[in-house]
Amino acid sequence: MTVEATSHQSGAEASKARRVRGAKVITTLKEMRLTVERWRRNGKTVALVPTMGALHEGHLSLIREARKSCDRVIVSLFVNPLQFGAGEDFGEYPRDFKRDHRLLTAEKADALFAPAAEELYPEGFDTRVVVGDRLTQTLCGLSRPTHFIGVATVVTKLISLTRPHQVYFGQKDFQQTLVARRLVADLNLGCEVMVLPTVRETDGLAKSTRNVYLSQEERLAAPGIYQALKLAEGMLQVGERNPQDLIEAVRKRLRNETAIEIEYIAAKNAETLEDLNILTGNVLVAVAVRLGRVRLIDNVVVSVPAGS
């Protein structure tokens, strides 16, 4: 398999682990394993926060929570080529290693794991981790059919390498969190998947690395995504139980923003992603939209008592 290199550093920098005025930078699998083995041998608990870099407040909130729960915190920075489809923004995805390192040093991360692509996927690498269609061939998986294979593969490799007690994700990537929970359970990876609330801008827009792509006009329209989701949340809280009516109300609200192109709107069981005939239990309301060339996702989860 040929994988395009996606290191945050030059080849010389990527040759070994090093200390660079702050958070320890590790770029090889061997050094990552040895570091974790030493920590665990000394009785330390370990947390992993997987990221693709270009860190924002959402990522930092995960690191802070991980720090509260575990003795050592590893943050991975790896733009994973396997989860990008043809024509997606792999080559353009923001990369700013120096800034990320500075932020992680300020947050007192213990290790920054930033392998090159050829380190994580060496020549001859030919394995993929596939989670069942029920969780992956719906919502984002409909337009990105191989995306969650890439996600599941890299998450499995990162967990296997870092052996964390806890691994941290944000709710914005809700489908990804379900995929992670499933593979951790099915492959007996021995860690706890922690999912923390979405961090938002003051106007409600979910923090996302891709927000930097938005034009001024698109940024002004973008808060309409969360406003539409809050509308759905309110409807559920006052008794709406018909999924078609709920989805249509969300669609109408999103269409108020002419810059927004709707990819999907869904109301599903938040544990299984199954469709619901009656909106009850833990209901996931999820949307994916495009503003120009930028694809954004967001969601809310609402607990609806049975029979209410």
Domain containing residue 277: CATH number: 3.30.1300.10
How far apart, in Å, are the Cα atoms of 101 and each of 7, 14, 48, 75, 115?
14, 14, 16, 10, 14
Whether residue 3 is predicted with pLDDT greater than 70 in this model: the reply is no
Give the model confidence (pLDDT) of 256-308 as tens digits.
Answer: 999 999 999 999 999 999 999 999 999 999 999 999 999 999 999 999 988 66
User: Looking at residue 308, what is its pLDDT?
Assistant: 63
CA-nearest of 183, 148, 140 to 284 is 140
User: Looking at residue 15, what is its pLDDT?
Assistant: 39
Q: Is residue 278 part of a domain?
A: yes
User: Looking at residue 88, what is its pLDDT?
Assistant: 93
Question: How many whole angstroms separate alpha carbon 270 and alpha carbon 283?
Answer: 5
Same domain, 70 and 131: yes
Between residues 258 and 18, which one has the greater pLDDT?
Answer: 258
Give the model confidence (pLDDT) of 69-80 as tens digits.
Answer: 999 999 999 999
Whether residue 148 is predicted with pLDDT greater than 80 in this model: the reply is yes
Catalytically annotated residue among 8, 56, 59, 165: 59
Same domain, 72 and 190: yes
Same domain, 63 and 176: yes
Same domain, 146 and 114: yes
Look up 59 and say whether it is catalytic.
yes
Write out the residue range of the structural domain in which residue 35 sits. 13-196
What rounded mean pLDDT belongs to the chain? 93
Same domain, 177 and 231: no
pTM (2 d.p.): 0.92
Q: Is residue 6 part of a domain?
A: no
Q: Is residue 201 part of a domain?
A: no
Same domain, 164 and 63: yes
CATH number at residue 118: 3.40.50.620
User: Looking at residue 21, what is its pLDDT?
Assistant: 59
Least confident of 12-26, 223-237, 241-255, 278-292: 12-26
Give the model confidence (pLDDT) of 151-162 as tens digits.
Answer: 999 999 999 999
Same domain, 156 and 215: no
Q: Is residue 97 part of a domain?
A: yes
Same domain, 124 and 145: yes
Same domain, 133 and 237: no
| Domain end point (choices 173, 196, 219) | 196
Same domain, 153 and 72: yes
Same domain, 213 and 191: no
User: Looking at residue 306, what is its pLDDT?
Assistant: 81
Same domain, 121 and 245: no
